[in-house]
Amino acid sequence: MAIKPLDNRVIVKQCEAEVKTAGGIVLPGSAQEKPQRGIVEAVGPGQMLDSGKRAAVAVKKGDEVYYGKYAGSEVQIDGVKFVILRESDILAVIE
């Protein structure tokens, strides 16, 4: 990857949008919701504290996470969609 997050930021590779509903209805592109789930691709070193030390980041590369619907900044690198988030924008880690 040609991008490295800073401080408490995390780079997440977006999962594909759902193209079918649970009932089997195929959704057109305009009706598909933006995915809120992805795989952590890179993690920054952590936020700098007042003491001069860095806070540990709670996620690691390879974790599958849920994040806020309108959180982060979307970027596209080599045709792959990523979201750059703050650690606090991550809602849950899927185990």
Write down the pLDDT at residue 36: 84
Tell me the C-alpha distance between 8 and 45, whole Å. Answer: 7
- Fold annotation for 9-16+31-94: 10 Kd Chaperonin, Protein Cpn10; Chain O (2.30.33)
Half-sphere exposure of 91 (CA within 13 A, CB side): 10
SS3 30: helix
SS3 29: helix
The structure's pTM equals 0.78
Higher-pLDDT residue of 22 and 5 is: 5
What confidence tens digit (pLDDT) does each residue in 13-32 have? 987 766 666 677 666 665 55
What confidence tens digit (pLDDT) does each residue in 41-62 have? 999 999 989 998 999 888 999 9
Tell me the C-alpha distance between 92 and 48, whole Å. Answer: 23
Tell me the C-alpha distance between 29 and 41, whole Å. Answer: 26
